[in-house]
């Protein structure tokens, strides 16, 4: 069987029904050629549900600060609402979609990143800590895992892992091809023009200049690490053009190619 492709989605996509339908139709076509897995964020839904509970949401360096008292709401938003919303679109597209989280069966092991950030989790640097058996079982039997980035520590604590970093851990664990889908067409320069290719040196320069910031900085660093670990380029592209997914996976230039 071909190596699976792991698609990371999030952002405004989760509030765009038309784009979700188009994306899952494209993914159903891709799945006829190779196994597909989807990992997702859901920051917009997290913020809505926290606000509804009268809670304030803050970020630091692109990571959501997660006080223990907010973890139940964040878990519900990501592993519940966001995950099942995407599950419904997958099923409607004809996929055998199954909703899971990275904590299921300790697929990805995580620990507390920094006590100052609360219940924010980090995965192992090389993606080796975890057990891919559950996802392999699902994929080998024709199911499409739709995965939230909620983890569980060895001490039994629920942790909120950044979805780009969770995608990195999964692709390392499964030797999957990684595609990071964003609200924009790829990584943009200071003039908001697409950068066709980027490496660590160029990324560091753009971060230093304040061009790449916050969530995009986390995404780029995850892609760079994945490219180094897997020994192949990683794509950062837009979910707004799902019809280009087949071209992208065939090696044609779409979005930004991140080089290790």
2-39 tens-digit pLDDT: 789 999 998 778 889 999 999 999 999 999 989 999 99
pLDDT at residue 122 in the model: 93
To the question of whether residue 42 is assigned a binding role by annotation, the answer is yes
Alpha carbon distance 213, 104 (integer Å): 31
User: For residue 1, what is the DSSP state?
Assistant: -
Inter-residue contact 64 to 114 (CB < 8 Å): no
Largest alpha-carbon pair distance within the chain? 48
- Choose the weakest-confidence range: 13-27, 101-115, 125-139, 149-163: 125-139
Task: Check whether 160 is labelled as a binding-site residue.
Answer: yes
Please choose, from the candidates 43, 60, 29, 9, the residue with its C-alpha nearest in 3D space to the C-alpha of residue 178.
9
pLDDT of 126 higher than 70? no
- CATH assignment of the domain containing 134: 3.40.1160.10
Assess whether pLDDT exceeds 70 at residue 1.
Answer: no
How deeply is 252 buried, as exposed, middle or buried, from its count of CB atoms within 10 A (0-12, 13-18, 19+)?
Answer: exposed
Catalytic residues: 8, 11, 43, 164, 219
Alpha-helix residue ranges (DSSP H) falling in the chain:
17-31, 43-52, 71-75, 83-92, 133-140, 163-174, 200-208, 214-230, 245-249
Q: Is 106 helix (H, G, I), strand (E, B) or coil?
A: helix
Instruction: Please give the Cα distance from 121 to 107 (Å, whole number).
Output: 14
Interior angle at CA 31, CA 6 and CA 188, nearest 5: 45
Supply the pLDDT for residue 38: 97
> b or e along 156-181 (b: 16 or more beta carbons within 10 Å of the residue's beta carbon)?
eebbbbbbbbbbbbbbbbbebbbbbb
Helix (H, G, I), strand (E, B) or coil at 140: helix
Closest among 84, 114, 225, 83 to 167, alpha carbons compared: 225
| Residue 50: pLDDT over 70 | yes
Q: Higher model confidence: residue 48 or residue 260?
A: 48
Are 4 and 176 in contact, with CB atoms under 8 Å apart?
Answer: yes
Residues 6+ apart with CB under 8 A from 259: 197, 198, 199, 227, 233
* C-alpha torsion angle, residues 90, 96, 102, 103 (rounded to 10): 120
> 43: domain range?
5-258
User: Would the annotation count 251 as a binding residue?
Assistant: no
Domain count, the chain: 1
Q: With 60 as the cut, is the pLDDT of residue 127 above it?
A: no
Measured at the CA of 122, the angle between CA 167 and CA 41, to 5 degrees, comes to 40
The model carries a pTM of 0.89
Mean pLDDT confidence for 42-50: 92
Instruction: Give the per-residue pLDDT at 91.
Output: 98
pLDDT score for 202: 92
For residue 109, the model assigns a pLDDT of 92
Q: pLDDT per residue over 186-208, tens digit each? A: 888 888 899 999 999 999 999 99
Instruction: Give SS3 for 208.
Output: helix
Q: Rounded mean pLDDT of the chain?
A: 90
């Amino acid at each position: 069987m071909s190596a699976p492709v792991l698609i990371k989605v999030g952002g405004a996509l989760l509030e765009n029904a038309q784009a979700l339908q188009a994306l899952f139709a494209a993914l159903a076509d891709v799945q006829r050629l190779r196994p597909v897995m989807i990992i997702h964020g859901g920051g917009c839904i997290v913020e809505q549900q926290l606000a509804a509970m009268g809670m304030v949401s803050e970020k630091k360096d692109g990571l959501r600060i997660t006080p223990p008292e907010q973890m139940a709401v964040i878990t519900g938003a990501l592993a519940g609402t966001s995950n099942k919303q995407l599950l419904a679109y997958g099923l409607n597209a004809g996929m055998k979609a199954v909703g899971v989280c990275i904590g299921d069966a300790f697929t990805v092991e995580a620990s507390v990143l920094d006590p100052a950030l609360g219940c924010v989790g980090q995965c192992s640097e090389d993606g080796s800590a975890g057990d891919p058996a559950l996802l392999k079982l699902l994929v080998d039997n024709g199911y499409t895992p739709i995965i939230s980035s909620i983890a569980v520590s060895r001490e039994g604590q629920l942790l909120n892992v950044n979805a780009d970093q969770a995608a990195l851990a999964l692709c390392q664990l499964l030797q999957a091809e990684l595609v990071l889908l964003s609200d924009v067409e790829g990584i943009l320069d200071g003039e908001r023009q697409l950068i066709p290719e980027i490496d660590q040196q160029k990324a560091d320069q753009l971060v230093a200049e304040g061009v790449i910031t916050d969530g995009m900085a986390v995404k780029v660093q995850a892609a760079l690490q994945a490219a180094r670990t897997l020994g192949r380029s990683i794509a950062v592209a837009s979910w707004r053009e799902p019809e280009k997914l087949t071209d992208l996976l065939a090696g044609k230039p779409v979005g930004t190619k991140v080089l290790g």
